[in-house]
């Protein structure tokens, strides 16, 4: 199961059934769980904890030091859940002391070719990163979010659950959960991700409530604070709308709306 050309540090912990391809390098401090498949030319640096049944296609860089000038070689780590697929040339970096020391990736995600997760990011489960999708440091990505091809998310920004970022989006503020955000400088929100939410099994009532909330947020007669107040007054029985409002109220960088 381990190719003869692979170079594996003796202190690395590798489950018995892990498949390791040609010219893979696994350094000290790396743990690889059962059922993982590591394709040719991948490099793993530690400390890194890799859960079960992850697949790394080829040329992935996993657990490399953060690209942060303040980083001075301190021991930080990368944690990955289970069942993810990492395609060619994906790069995943460890955390920094100033960001909590750990980069986390959840489970059952798809990271297409050349996707990048920088230091101290917290990425949820069931996410999709299309080709070249890029996170700066300290970014939070909610479960079931989709980051479109060649999109970039600014440091310290958040992308909410079930959010959809279209290709080539540049997100310099928080991206609303359940909504579609598209565009480059300025990116704009285009309302609920209707098709995606339906495919994910959201009820017609939930989708309708999110549409009503969006009408307030989109209104030229209301600023963002006034829109949130109207939503709280008139939409009181939707968990998704409650989550949307909480996300907006907790934003530190502001949220992307249709106003740009």
Q: Which residues are identified as catalytic?
A: 119-120, 137
DSSP assignments along the chain, one per residue: -B-TT-EE-TT-EE-TT-EE-TT-EE-TTEEE-TT-EE-TT-EE-SSEEE-TT-EE-SS-EEEEPPS-TT--S---EEEE-SS-EE-TT-EEE---GGGTSEEEE-SS-EE-TT-EE-TT-EE-SS-EE-TT-EE-TT-EE-TT-EE-TT-EE-TT-EE-TT-EE-TT-EESSBBPTTEEEE-BSS-EEEEE-HHHHHHTT--HHHHHHHHHHHHHHH-TTS-HHHHHHHHHHH--S-HHHHHHHHHHHT-SS-B--TT-
């Amino acid at each position: 199961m381990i190719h003869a050309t692979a170079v594996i540090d003796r202190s690395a912990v590798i489950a018995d059934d892990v498949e390791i391809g040609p010219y893979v390098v696994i350094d000290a401090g790396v743990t690889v769980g059962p059922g993982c498949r590591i394709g040719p030319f991948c490099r793993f640096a530690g400390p890194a904890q890799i859960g079960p049944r992850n697949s790394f296609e080829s040329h992935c860089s996993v657990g490399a030091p953060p690209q942060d000038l303040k980083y001075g070689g301190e021991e930080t780590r990368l944690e990955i859940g289970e069942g993810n697929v990492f395609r060619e040339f994906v790069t995943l970096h460890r955390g920094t002391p100033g960001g909590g020391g750990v980069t986390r990736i959840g489970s059952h995600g798809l990271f297409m070719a050349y996707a990048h997760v920088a230091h101290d990011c917290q990425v949820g489960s069931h996410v999709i990163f299309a080709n070249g999708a890029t996170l700066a440091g300290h970014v939070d990505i909610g479960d079931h979010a989709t980051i479109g091809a060649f999109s970039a998310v600014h440091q310290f920004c958040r992308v909410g659950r079930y959010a959809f970022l279209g290709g080539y989006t540049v997100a310099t503020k928080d991206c609303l959960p359940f909504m579609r955000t598209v565009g480059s400088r300025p990116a704009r929100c285009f309302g609920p991700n209707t098709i995606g939410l339906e495919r994910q099994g959201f009820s017609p009532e939930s989708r309708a409530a999110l549409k009503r909330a969006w009408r307030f947020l989109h209104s030229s007669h209301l600023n963002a604070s006034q829109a949130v107040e109207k939503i709280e007054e008139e939409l009181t029985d939707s968990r998704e709308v409650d989550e949307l409002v909480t996300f907006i109220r907790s934003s530190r960088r502001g949220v992307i709306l249709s106003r740009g």
